Amino acid sequence: MSAVPSRGHAARASALRDPTNWVLVLAALSLVLLIVVPLLSIFREAFTDEDGRLTLANFVSTFSDRQARQATLNTIVLSLAVAALSTLIAIPLAFGEARTAMPFKRTLNAVALVSIISPGFLVALAYALLLGPNMGLVNKALRALLSLEQSTGPFDIYGPWGFVFLTLPMGIGLCFLQITPALRSIDASVEEASRLAGAGPLQTARRVTLKLIRPAILSGFILTFTLTLAAYGTPQVLGVNVLAIAIRGALLVTYDLKQAAVLSVAATVIAVAAVFVYHQSMRAQSRYVTLGGRGARQGLVDCGRWRHALVALTALYALFGFVLPYGALVVASFLRAMSRGFSLDNLTGANYAVLLSDEVTRHAFLNSTILSLTSAVGVVLLGLVVGYLLERTRVRGRVILDYIAVLPLGLAGTAFGVAVLVTYLNPPFQFLGLPGTLAILWIAYVAHFVSFGVRGVQAGLVQIAPDLGEAARMAGARRWRVVKDIEAPLLGGTLVSIGLLVIVLCFPELSMSIMLRSVDTQVAATALLNRWDGEGGFPGAAAMAVVMFAVIGVLLAVAQSFVAGRQRWKRRSGS
């Protein structure tokens, strides 16, 4: 007798036949493997004693130290300050770029990217030349101009507020790149309706536009917060006591793995708390869907005199995020001796010539190019699948994946690098033989930056009404077709933004790379550090930073023209 399958049984069988479900499961497993496994080694270290017994004693001993408590407090306060200020400044800039006819949009986009790619420690050194309290060029000029009798200041770049000031351009760039695509996706008719109802441009911006882009704003805030939390180069140069510095000290100077693990757990908890707040805020977001079944229409807003304010803000951002630090770097890169100042007989091209002839430097740049491009692909694909899983399915426990994705962002790169290395040096993954290869760097990069993919895709999907996909599904389309033909094309701009962001974050990555690179897998940032510490000194490192900036610029241009070419080809094929 053959049994008639029940409806539930049939649904389960259908779900098993749907390859999309397998892709989702695979992506979830990948996320666990990439992130949870390395992190478990840190958590195990923090919560066990030397004999492997569970204990909280490591936390008690770590936080009985005033320095550790101060580092934790500094990290929270400074990360909040950077994230809040970055968001406030990025919103009008993104609005200007996406929704107005303001000039200098290309400049604004370029500065946002440059601010993100700039190696923190080098920018800090450049600013030390400008805003150092004793001999900073800006300070000296101001003292002379204002006839100040004091021998130091008026500005002092060293200290917590110097850290905020130097990290701000990166934060603005991150928020800008998150918010701009969201603003571009808004259907202009929604805003027009507001204006027809009698609201002015500012009122419309405040009451309609800001509410619609709230997920992207929150996303930018959280990313900036967590990246500032893990910043290493800038606090190292400025001498600011934050968790990333304390973790490195415990790990590498006092060899106290327990203390390093406890501090890493503290950083992770702070990052997770930030995501929790994000989730709470996003609960009500579904009512702000902006891309519905009807076609979206975009339009530019006439912002009148505010246009000048936007240009002024762009100019200030360009000045502090690019002109001043890179101006100092370019000048320094052509100097034979820094202390002899700017004179013709002190100029040289030797700092650049050395780079061209050095095989290790060339190899390092090639490695970084390969890693940043392939990591971008990995983050976009994984972000798309996991973001979809979170936003478009009702799989139980899916929110846990969101928390998992953000975990590595809060960790100091050094600590995460060590965790990855420990994982793949020991059983059961030892047999893969990954340490010392580019593959282990790729794993760390993708794991560390996958949150950008997940968060970006989530923010994008929130704006696309599910009814588009649901209609297609009711018409018999499989989930894969819905993603491929409807949601991925609508997310196109967002996916490109994510990819570009990952390229610019991966290329200059230092703190993880320094633990994972090997003799033949040097990357651009570790080669830059070597040049600075070695014979090149600051002028040699400045030359390399300028070249690094140029290479990233070329990479971005190639990536953007590839995407543009593909879109043109698609349009032609379509027509």
Q: Which residues make up the interface to another protein (CB under 8 A)?
A: 66-67, 125, 128-129, 132-136, 152, 158, 236-237, 239, 245, 248-249, 251-256, 336-340, 346, 360, 418, 421-422, 425-426, 430, 435-436, 514-515, 517-520, 522, 526, 529-530, 532-535, 537-538
- How far is it between the farthest Cα atoms of the chain? 102
Token pair listed for 290:
């902006």
Quick one: 199 or 354, whose CB is closer to another protein? Answer: 354
Cα-based distances in Å from 428 to 424, 437, 516: 8, 18, 19
Q: Measured from the CB of residue 215, what is the shortest distance to another protein in angstroms?
A: 38
d(C-alpha 235, C-alpha 164), whole Å: 10
Quick one: 290 or 522, whose CB is closer to another protein? Answer: 522
Quick one: 105 or 363, whose CB is closer to another protein? Answer: 363
Quick one: 160 or 201, whose CB is closer to another protein? Answer: 160
The total number of residues shown for the chain amounts to 575
CA 388 to chain CA centroid, nearest Å: 20
Q: Measured from the CB of residue 538, what is the shortest distance to another protein in angstroms?
A: 5
Q: What are phi and psi of 237, to 5 degrees?
A: -70, -40
Asked if the bond preceding 428 is cis, omega within 30° of 0, the reply is: yes
Quick one: 278 or 424, whose CB is closer to another protein? Answer: 424
* Cβ 102 vs Cβ 96: under 8 Å: yes
Quick one: 122 or 498, whose CB is closer to another protein? Answer: 122
Q: Is 242 helix (H, G, I), strand (E, B) or coil?
A: coil
Cα-based distances in Å from 556 to 369, 403, 467: 11, 30, 35
Quick one: 185 or 368, whose CB is closer to another protein? Answer: 368
Cα Rg of the chain (Å, integer): 25
Q: Measured from the CB of residue 120, what is the shortest distance to another protein in angstroms?
A: 13
Question: Given 3-state DSSP classes, what are the helix, strand and coil percentages for the chain, each rounded to the nearest 5?
Answer: 75, 0, 20
d(C-alpha 318, C-alpha 107), whole Å: 8
Quick one: 12 or 140, whose CB is closer to another protein? Answer: 140
Q: Measured from the CB of residue 66, what is the shortest distance to another protein in angstroms?
A: 8
Q: Measured from the CB of residue 135, what is the shortest distance to another protein in angstroms?
A: 4
Q: Measured from the CB of residue 246, what is the shortest distance to another protein in angstroms?
A: 8
d(C-alpha 293, C-alpha 300), whole Å: 22
Q: Measured from the CB of residue 231, what is the shortest distance to another protein in angstroms?
A: 14
Token pair listed for 12:
């389960």
Q: Measured from the CB of residue 333, what is the shortest distance to another protein in angstroms?
A: 14
Q: Which residue do the tokens 């009512």 mark?
A: 287
